[in-house]
Structure 1
């Protein structure tokens, strides 16, 4: 039996002071949006409450599917690096980046370098270098293969789309087949929902059809994502059976907003190749904003 906790869209706050140089970019729109909207509903205390509850459940591993920062400034990236170190050891936490982690040109390289220990595949180089392609990566933990993909790219103002390209698709298929031949339960982590219509056009993932072909060709048992700040379940065609595609609310969302309050998924994997059993328990923040309760149980 293996237990995986899943959170997403941490958006670690508060937003630090930014220089005029940093604001002279797409960041200015995000800065205004933060102070007008996000700052009223995204709270670090909410995230702390969620992580404390996860710790009580004692999962074998924790997956984070992107958007750890807000505007990808140097101060934010440093703060998240320190926060990750407090959250747990790199071998126990797996991260993939989101669009906010690649908010402006150059940010993607800075975040992947800073958080590389949490994005490093089992067979990857010990240290980050600019010629190394982090994604996709694979980590084997017990009966589970965690395969991290990236859709994070810098986009123009008022856009939050992602991209899943041919090179990554081919490499992901190879990892999925390798894990399948080893009899492992394959979990794909990605930020943008790989489902048509799951989000608006300016926030969509480019390469949805390519990702669907990757799953049907390589095989998988579960896909987890973030981005929408919603608790959702979709399905993709698999090799032998439909594959659940599960999203989760922002880990920092307080109650009372137009998006559901902070939540995390706790997946339990049991069985063996050809006879897997998957259960999801979704735990959500209560209206008092200080406690977490079981909101839903699903057996796939």
Structure 2
């Protein structure tokens, strides 16, 4: 089975926010969007990626690991739902929020809930009861964790709530004996990034402690806008921790997304990681294998 992975698409604003909606941290984000971000993140680039996924991965699944919008305005989420619906059904896309999807403290029913098709068992009033969630596809367990919390201006850290950690442990316990390939996806990296970890996960040690009791095969994230390859040791497995690049960055930064081919061979799980990179001269995507892992 193929899992396609893109992230940080930052769908451009197609409307002018009201003055009252900018009386908070959003004003900084709006200035940044108008002066820089909209020239860096191109809608046509994410359209190229999603079109390629739709053509190439018809029987697989896609993960979008956060930062779908820019300012967490309700109209952005409504527009994002319409946009993603051109490429996906609720059965072949899974999402989690990023820091830009929780840019300020906003009621969940007025934000990510508009994308409920791509989640599981959504509660419109409570984000922590929605996350983490699990989707099982052909003995592959996809577990989405929200690290998205509002942060002060110029900070973009994440955190996993205690409620989520407790629920995550219950989910992992419930599937422990099923011999699934377990893939965790979240927005923030599980490793330290930025001065004082201002780009990272503030309570990463708590998350690692929670998952270290179980068999985990792959952890994927976004947030850093570039391809990242790390690993952590869980039990006797060196678990790959892989970050996808932004799916909408301009061509000078390269345009690519990741694919994870997950198969069971001789009763053992096997993972192959590919980069699908767009060549702007040839106007086509090409695949490059990056890594292969066999799990005993």
TM-score by length of 2: 0.91
Following superposition, the deviation at residue 10 of structure 1 comes to 1.2
The answer to whether structure 1 residue 191 and structure 2 residue 184 are counterparts is no
| Alpha-carbon distance change, 153 to 19 in structure 1, aligned in 2, over 3 angstroms | same
Match of residue 136, structure 2, among 122, 130, 140? 140
In 1: Cα distance, 2:23 partner to 2:266 partner: 52
SS in 1 for 2:213: helix
The answer to whether structure 1 residue 174 and structure 2 residue 173 are counterparts is no
In 2: Cα distance, 1:142 partner to 1:108 partner: 31
- Where does 1:1-300 land on structure 2 (aligned, <5 Å)? 2-58=1-57, 59-106=59-106, 108-120=108-120, 124=121, 128-131=123-126, 133-197=129-193, 201-256=197-252, 260-271=253-264, 275-288=268-281, 290-300=283-293
In 1: Cα distance, 2:271 partner to 2:206 partner: 26
Contact 1:101 1:108 in 2 (8 A): no
Following superposition, the deviation at residue 218 of structure 1 comes to 2.4
Name the count of aligned residue pairs. 291
Contact 1:186 1:220 in 2 (8 A): yes
SS in 2 for 1:175: helix
Gaps of 5+ in 2: none
Structure 1 segments of 4+ aligned residues over 4 angstroms from their partners: 287-290
| Alpha-carbon distance change, 107 to 47 in structure 1, aligned in 2, over 3 angstroms | farther
Gaps of 5+ in 1: none
In 1: Cα distance, 2:13 partner to 2:112 partner: 21
